[in-house]
Amino acid sequence: MPISCPNFAVQSLHLRSSSFTTTAREINFTPRDFGISPPIFRTNLRPNSVNYSSRCNCSQTIFSAEAARDYDDQLKFESERYSDELEVAVKAVHMACLLCQRVQESLIAKGDDHVQSKDDDSPVTIADWSVQATVSWVLSDAFGSANVSIVAEEDVQELSKTDSIGILNSVVKTVNQCLAEAPRFGLKSPPNPLSTSDVLEAISRCNSIGGPTGRFWVLDPVDGTLGFVRGDQYAIALALIEDGEPVLGVLGCPNYPMKTELLSYHQRVLSTQPSANWDKGCVIYARKGSGGAWMQPLLRKEEKKFVWPNSASEIKVSTIDNPALATFCEPVEKANSSHSFTAGLAHSVGVRNQPLRVYSMVKYAAIARGDAEIFMKFARAGYKEKIWDHAAGVVIIEEAGGVVTDAGGHHLCFSKGMYLEGLDRGIIASSGSTLHNKIIRAVDASWNSSSL
């Protein structure tokens, strides 16, 4: 029988031993009594091992002294679990956002000189490799390279080619410029500028293939590269997975404004309408089981120091559950998502708003903070979803109060390597169960007539 502790109140605390029983006065616990700040406090905890008797309703609980200590210890353990990793991850992604802003401004000014194509014809810029090297170095410095395993999108093969020497030099310069700012975020800079071999080593350390056991990081250095090179939406996505489950996620969205009213839509594609004093960009993050997701503005140039976590504000999914009022997101590119099928699903469940097409995992950010209610993606046959395209977003939406599953209603599986193996048809993310269940039923009803 679970212990009930509404509002962390213990009406009667009985300290028992073989020789005496002491009834303590009423004690009211709050997160701060445990030295815990609200953004990372878990509210749904129960003792691991308790010795208690319960003869009360939900407003009264009797603890033994041992049970009280166990409960206290678990509260502290859960509140601190992954807190160091989350702090370093947020700071690393924040630094990467500023790096990307500088590179994007330079890229747009120079044209396509610093853009290459990978084997799958997707464009890659110096930002991809620079972010990967930077995040790899920061994580390794904070936790020790022997303790850090990273699954990431980029490798050093393209960058190591003789005709890539110009881009490689730019990457080395960009990485060192970024790491020089680490003290602004309470992190250490390298004692000496990284050499070319140091940068290549940092990138190549991201060679994990994931799996069902152990701990590894998942990084997409620039998710939505097409959006990046076009000056539009993109994201830096970093997640920590332990024993196959994402336990924290961070999304850096350099072109996604803090204020929803600054969003604009050009040909149904989400973009930003800059204003004279807009807060350009944000970092959104969550830790599994913490009961909340949080958003911070990007550090302005005039600000000397990053403050953690006082500048964060909590975000929540939308409360809209009427499909007629809901907005749904889908990828911009048609190559790996069927717009016609998602349009049919939206119509069948009663969604009347035009679809909002968004580059990158900014779609997850939009749902987590209530700018949209639904994200649907149904890839064409043969396409395999990568874990780095979803891991961070899943944690954030779920902690913000939303739901993410495949089209069969199953949790996404991150334990099979670099791909979401066993995915049932497609991916659905919603602000709540009402909309989610309607979409799943619509998929079941129409799937046989689809061409997917």
Q: Which residues are catalytic?
A: 128, 225
Please indicate if the annotation marks 444 as binding a ligand.
no
Cα separations in angstroms, 128 against 107, 226, 229, 259, 354? 13, 12, 11, 27, 32
Please indicate if the annotation marks 73 as binding a ligand.
no
How buried is 2 (Cβ within 10 angstroms: 0-12 exposed, 13-18 middle, 19+ buried)? exposed
Which DSSP string corresponds to 121-189? S-EEEHHHHHHHHHHHHHHHHHH-GGG--EEES--STTTTSGGGHHHHHHHHHHHHHHHTTGGGGT-PP
How much of the chain is helix, strand and coil, in % rounded to 5?
A: 35, 20, 45
Crossing angle (nearest 10°) for helices 165-179 and 83-110:
130
Cis previous bond, 274, omega within 30 = no
322 contacts: CB under 8 Å, gap ≥ 6: 350
Please indicate if the annotation marks 223 as binding a ligand.
yes
What whole-number distance in Å separates Cα of residue 114 and Cα of residue 123?
A: 10
Please indicate if the annotation marks 153 as binding a ligand.
yes
Closest CA to 407 of 389, 420, 392: 420
What whole-number distance in Å separates Cα of residue 444 and Cα of residue 447?
A: 6
What whole-number distance in Å separates Cα of residue 275 and Cα of residue 181?
A: 27
Closest CA to 95 of 312, 366, 299: 299
Annotated binding site: 153, 220, 223, 389
Annotated binding site for Mg(2+): 153, 220, 223, 389
